[in-house]
Amino acid sequence: MEQDPSEEAEANLAAWKAVLTELEDNLEAFRGPADVSEQARMLARNWTPPSDLGPLPAELAPRARLLAKAQDRAYVQLRGEARMNRRQAELIRSVPGPSSAAVYLDVAG
């Protein structure tokens, strides 16, 4: 038996709302404290887009566009942070390690 088109549209709308909410929650978690952010990274790595979604309902298009823009901004921010972390790691590597030569401190003079 075929599903009523209005029921199908409602089911598709509910599915899209759930997916957008999940993506928004995950994006928000990226902005959270380190432990929450790590959980968000794990979720993002394991996330796969649902294969049974119908077309995006027109009423959710503005929400989806806002989410896409927010994801783009987060991506740019993460790239910047990764670049800064690499620079800091290079600076740390440039600091000489402990020396085997004797070091003396003149406290009398």
Distance CA 77, CA 89 (A): 18
Determine the average pLDDT of the residues in 5-18.
92
Question: Against a cut of 0.75, is the pTM above it?
Answer: no
Domain boundaries, the chain: 5-93
Q: What is the DSSP letter of 55?
A: S
pLDDT band at 36 (very low <50, low <70, confident <90, very high): low
pLDDT band at 18 (very low <50, low <70, confident <90, very high): very high
Q: Among 51-55, 65-69, 89-93, 96-100, which is the least confidently predicted range? A: 96-100
Q: How far apart are the first and last CA of the chain?
A: 98
Position 2 scores a pLDDT of: 63
